[in-house]
């Protein structure tokens, strides 16, 4: 079975946004869980390394946590 390669580096942009807010992965995971997003640290780490596709609900929650426009996840800094 062949994996589909992502055509956008969303994971790198998630990581950049997290670092820009001076948050650790643990802090982001805790915030997501408080928002009702059930996610583990290992799953979150997979999002940042593009080893797992992000869900829309996770993307929306991260945009609120990082106070970022959704487009920043796809295209980087605008």
Domains of the chain: 10-68 (1.10.260.40)
Tell which wins on pLDDT, 20 or 77.
20
Q: What is the pLDDT of residue 48?
A: 95
Torsion of CA 62, 56, 69, 74, to 10 degrees: 110
Does 4 have pLDDT greater than 50? no
What's the predicted TM-score (pTM) here?
Answer: 0.86
Other CB atoms within a 10 A radius of the CB of residue 43 amount to 14
Q: Contact at 8 Å (CB) between 31 and 65?
A: yes
Q: How confident is the model at residue 76 (pLDDT cuts 50, 70, 90)?
A: confident
pLDDT greater than 90 at residue 8: no
- 19-75 per-position pLDDT tens digit: 999 999 999 999 999 999 999 999 999 999 999 989 999 999 999 999 999 999 988
Provide, for the chain, the percentages of residues in helix, strand and coil under a 3-state DSSP scheme, each rounded to the nearest 5.
Answer: 60, 0, 40
Which residues, 6+ apart, have CB-to-CB distance to 13 below 8 Å?
A: 72, 73, 74, 75, 76
């Amino acid at each position: 079975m062949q994996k589909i390669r992502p055509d956008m580096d969303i994971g790198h942009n998630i990581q950049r946004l997290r670092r820009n807010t001076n948050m650790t992965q643990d802090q982001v995971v805790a915030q997501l869980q408080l928002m009702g997003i059930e996610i583990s640290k290992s799953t979150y780490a997979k999002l940042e390394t593009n080893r797992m596709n992000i869900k829309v609900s996770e993307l929306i929650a991260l945009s609120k946590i990082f106070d970022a426009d959704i487009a920043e996840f796809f295209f980087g800094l605008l």
